[in-house]
Structures are given as structure tokens and as C-alpha cells.
């Protein structure tokens, strides 16, 4: 079962704490996860820490799932960083700012492994 969702990215404290520490496990833990509310998580049949694959028109990424019950139904969040960037929209619509928020996404459970930061970047070279 897949979840049709709206995707957003944004800052968090832990992502901020590791901005100058991006090769560390701590940064991975701070930026490589996808938050959704408990209801959406159970509809997907995933537990916190299980991997999910988030796909938009612009790409897809595998990250662990985390619960945030502040999210309304169908809203998923990945902290700003390389994992979120794998799915955001590079088109600025003529104003300089890419689409980091409000994208249509499909979220599905997966057995695939979440990529490390260097693995993600290696795809782009």
C-alpha cells in the first residue's frame, strides 16, 4: 500500500547542530528520515526506523520513517539536506527559488537501504 502525500522539507535543531559535521553518523541521523503522522504510518504498515521510499516527479530517495503527530494526514517531511534534495523540484518558476515544499509525493515501504551522504552525491557526478 502506498501513501499519496504532500512533501515538504525544512530545518531542525539536530540538522542545524550537524551542519558542519556532515560526514558523521549524527548528520545522517539528523537529516535522513521522513516524518509522517501515526495514522499514515500505520496505513503504510511501517514502524519508526523502517525504510520508506519517497518518490516525486524529480527523483526518489530511501530514508527511515519517523513519527510526527503534528503533521496533518498526508503531509510528509524530510529535513533540509541531501536526502530531501533528491526529490525536490529544481524549477524556480522564474524567481530563483526551487521547489522545496508542497510537492506531490508517493511514499512506499521498502527493503532498500538508505544511501549515505557520499553515496547520494556519487550519483550526481
Partner 1 sequence: MIIKDVLCPFCGCLCDDLAVEVENNKVVDVKHACKIGASKIMGHDRIKAPMMRDDKNGEFREVSYDEAINESAKILANSKRPLLYGWASGLCEMMAKGILLNEEVGGIIDNTASVCHGPSVLGVHEKGIPTGTLGQFANRADLVVFWGCNPVQAHPRHMSRYSVFTKGFFANKGRKSRKVVVFDVRKTDTAEMADEYVQVNPGEDYLVLSALRAIVADKADVVPDSVGGVPKEKLVELGEAMKAAKFGIVYFGMGLTQSRGKYKNIDNAISLITELNAHGKHSIIPMRGHYNVGGFGQVCAWETGYAGAVDMSRGTPYYNPGETCSNDLLMREEIDAAFVIAADAGAHFPAQSIARMGKVPVIQIDPFHNPTTEMANIVIPTKVSGVELEGTAYRMDCVSLRMRKLVDVDFPSDEEVLDKIIAKVREIKGASS
Positions in the binding site for partner 1 (CB under 8 A):
6, 8, 10-13, 16-24, 58-59, 68-72, 75, 77, 80-82, 85-86, 88-102, 117-118, 120-125
Q: How far is the C-alpha of 65 from the C-alpha of 88, rounded, in Å?
A: 18
Q: How far is the C-alpha of 15 from the C-alpha of 2, rounded, in Å?
A: 27
Taking the complex as a whole, how short is the minimal distance between the CB of residue 87 and partner 1, in angstroms? 8
Taking the complex as a whole, how short is the minimal distance between the CB of residue 1 and partner 1, in angstroms? 22
Please identify, using beta-carbon distances, which residue of 51 and 56 lies nearer to partner 1: 56
49-to-62, 94, 95, 111, 123 alpha-carbon distances in Å:
12, 38, 37, 12, 24
Amino acid at each position: 500500500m502506498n501513501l499519496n502525500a504532500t512533501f515538504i522539507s525544512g530545518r531542525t535543531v539536530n540538522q542545524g547542530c550537524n551542519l558542519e559535521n556532515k560526514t558523521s553518523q549524527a548528520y545522517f541521523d539528523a537529516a535522513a528520515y521522513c516524518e509522517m503522522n501515526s495514522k499514515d504510518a500505520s496505513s503504510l504498515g511501517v514502524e519508526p526506523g523502517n525504510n520508506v521510499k519517497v518518490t516525486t516527479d524529480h527523483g526518489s530517495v530511501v530514508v527511515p520513517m519517523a513519527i510526527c503527530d503534528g503533521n496533518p494526514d498526508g503531509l510528509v517531511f524530510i529535513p533540509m539536506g541531501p536526502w530531501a534534495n533528491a526529490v525536490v523540484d529544481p524549477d524556480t518558476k522564474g524567481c530563483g527559488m526551487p521547489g522545496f515544499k508542497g510537492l506531490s509525493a508517493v511514499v512506499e515501504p521498502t527493503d532498500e537501504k538508505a544511501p549515505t551522504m557520499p553515496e547520494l552525491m556519487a550519483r550526481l557526478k
